[in-house]
Amino acid sequence: MPGNFLVPHKSRNARDPASKASVLHGAIEGHVLVKNVNKTLPLKKPDLISVFGYDAPAPPEANIAAQNGNYRLGFLSNYGLAWLATIRYPFQQPGKFAPNGTLITGGGSGGASPAYISAPLDALQQRAYEDDTVLYYDTVSNNPAIHAESDACIVFINAYATEGVDREALYDNYSDALVKNVANKCSNTIVVIHNAGIRLVDQWIEHPNVTALIFAHLPGQDSGRAVVSLLYGDESPSGKLPYTVAKNESDYNVPVAHPEGEFFRFPQDDFTEGVYIGTYLMSHNTIVLYSSLWGKANEEILDYKDFDQKKVQPRYEFGFGLTYTTFEYSGLRIALKQGANTSYAPPTSRVSEGGLESLWDVIATVKATVTNTGDVKAKEVAQLYVHIPGGPVKQLRGFSKVEISPGESAEITFSLTRKDLSDWNTNDQRWNLQQATYNVMVGASSRILPLTGDLVIG
């Protein structure tokens, strides 16, 4: 690129055909199935499917050459809000959802300009052609007419987020009304949400006709191809929630002060919640609202540790996710590593990125056996949690995804480092390893932990 990136320059096609499988695979594994009543999913060559929701089709514009930057900045599903409000979408800018087509990416720095967009409606139409299924759809109406003989009604909604603008809520009444309107008329309503972060579902999740729910997140260019492969069972869902879905917004929130004057652009936080806030990215446990340095006051999102501490029952806990089979956990084995240094203070060592290198010494190992007790080959994400004495009820300290055939088992091994088992001493200004008994838990989510045991240090 030229030194001035605003100067026109020749485009380069840097795509590698070998990456296509990885892009699709990543999209598939980012979906999380959290409700599936009486094996509603996978679909089995239904005679008639009805599809609803503004999130089902591709956006009407996907043009890298357009001057408005919608495609380049991830706004292609959420632009033109003024004319949308006057014609069919009764909401105001910046919008809690993106009404202009399926949401495949977040806005701003999270935006991407893919080579194509496989929208859910497009992929469903292709599958209908292959299976000789009748497919009706209405992606405009908020209270659509529904064919009485629909075998399934699939509703696509989303939850939008972009940098530079605070998320105003973790739900929106327009989308929730759409789901309820469809569920009131269709006994087999499947909901798919493309969500940039947490999205509450309690306005309709217990409706008797809502039989399945998938958090599809932001799957990128293979959005439709990915979700159809899961809806029809070509692949079994294997994603787990990287956040806690509460029943109410009030279950999360700790106010963050937005001062006026000199510090207007610098929100202040005293972190009064201590260690009970999320600290890692999607692979661990970030549960933080997309924030902005300007705009309305936002709030922090407390993570599963806070829900455990306050004994608050979530709708769906951190780490939760269903598959099309069942798994059983057994054979927990906990052992100190032979010859491991378990002194209170970390051994003297070289300081590198992340601190003392001795903090990454393996102190103990935890093993467990996972067995596929169902009839579908699928992947399971086994999770390791540890209670450090004096700390939160449990903290995620490892996870491993394994694919297991029906009737077969896999052994999972977790390594626990000194850092995993230490807590920060503000007086010593270092990570110390307690000489104490640590509770160890292994299972399928932060609240489904059938295997428990103790690790004694000291």
What are the tens digits of pLDDT across the range 62-84? 877 776 667 777 878 876 555 34
For residues 225 and 257, membership in a common domain is answered with no
Tell me: cis bond preceding 8? Omega within 30 of 0 counts: no
Mean pLDDT in residue range 100-121: 89
pLDDT at 209: 98
**Same domain flag for 249 and 210:** no
**Residues 37 and 128 both lie in one domain:** yes
Domain count, the chain: 3
| Calpha distance 130→112 (Å, rounded) | 31
CB atoms within 10 A of CB 185: 17
257 — pLDDT class (breaks 50, 70, 90) = low
Minimal CA–CA distance to 110: which of 220, 241, 265, 266?
Answer: 220
Q: Find which of 278-287, 292-301, 362-371, 424-433 is predicted with most confidence, using mean pLDDT.
A: 362-371
In this structure, the answer to whether residues 406 and 367 fall within a common structural domain is: yes
pLDDT more than 90, % of the chain: 70
Domain boundary among the residues 323, 343, 366 is at: 323
Q: Of 107-111, 150-154, 310-314, 416-420, where does mean pLDDT reach its minimum?
A: 107-111
**Residue-level pLDDT at 6:** 74
Do 194 and 268 belong to one domain? no
- The mean pLDDT value of the chain amounts to 87
The residue-averaged pLDDT of 219-228 equals 97
pLDDT at 296 > cutoff 50: no
User: Is it the case that residue 283 has pLDDT exceeding 60?
Assistant: no
Q: Are residues 163 and 31 located together in one domain of the fold?
A: yes
CA–CA gap between residue 284 and residue 319 (Å, rounded): 9
**Do residue 213 and residue 349 come from a single domain?**
no
> Does residue 301 carry a pLDDT above 80?
no
**Within a domain: 11:** no
CB 212 within 8 A of CB 35: yes
- In a domain, residue 161? The reply is yes
For range 279-290, the mean pLDDT: 29
Q: What is the pLDDT of residues 117-156, one digit of tens each?
A: 999 999 999 999 999 999 999 999 999 999 999 999 999 9
Question: Both 22 and 109 in a single domain?
Answer: yes
For residue 361, being part of any structural domain is answered with yes
Mean pLDDT value of segment 197-225: 97
Task: Please indicate whether residue 88 or residue 113 has the higher confidence score (pLDDT).
Answer: 113
Q: Based on the fold, state whether residues 212 and 312 are members of the same structural domain.
A: no
The residue type found at 112 is: A
Is pLDDT above 70 for 336? yes
pLDDT above 70 (res 30): yes
- The token pair at 122 is 């497009």
Same domain, 435 and 313: no
* 164 found inside a domain: yes
- The pLDDT of 257-261, averaged and rounded, is 65
Domain boundary among 323, 356, 387: 323
Percent of the chain at pLDDT > 70 equals 86
**Cα angle value 109/111/115 (rounded, 5°):** 145
Max mean pLDDT range (89-93, 107-111, 164-168) = 107-111
What is the residue whose two structure tokens read 């949401």?
103
| Average pLDDT of the segment spanning 11-34 | 92
User: Does residue 1 form part of some domain?
Assistant: no
Whole-model pTM above 0.85? yes
Of 112-121, 294-303, 447-456, the range with the lowest mean pLDDT is 294-303
| Structure confidence at residue 361 (pLDDT) | 97
Which residue from 446, 17, 3, 31 is spatially nearest to 232, judged by alpha carbons? 31
Write the CATH number for 377: 2.60.40.10
| Claim to verify: residue 32 and residue 139 sit in the same structural domain | yes
pLDDT at 215: 98
- Higher-confidence residue of 376 and 300: namely 376
Q: What is the mean pLDDT of residues 21-44?
A: 96
Residue 283: burial class (beta carbons within 10 Å; 0-12, 13-18, 19+): exposed
Residues 426-435 have a mean pLDDT of 94
Q: What is the pLDDT of residue 69?
A: 67
Q: Which residues pair with 153 in a beta bridge?
A: 50, 189
Residue ending a domain, among 179, 196, 231, is 231
Give every CB contact of residue 214 below 8 A, 6+ residues apart in sequence: 31, 32, 33, 34, 190, 191, 192, 193, 227, 230, 237
Q: What is the model's pLDDT at position 253?
A: 67
Indicate whether 125 belongs to any domain.
yes
Q: What is the rounded average pLDDT of the residues 304-325?
A: 95
Residue length of the chain: 458
Establish if 114 belongs to a structural domain: yes
Q: Same domain for 106 and 196?
A: yes
**Domain membership flag for residue 304:** yes
Q: How many CA atoms lie within 13 A of 269 on its CB side?
A: 17
**Whether the predicted pLDDT of 87 surpasses 80:** no
Q: Roughly how many angstroms between the first and final C-alpha of the chain, as a whole number?
A: 58
Token pair of 346, please?
A: 């970390």
Whether cis (ω within 30° of 0) applies to the bond prior to 94 is yes
Residue 343: domain span = 327-456
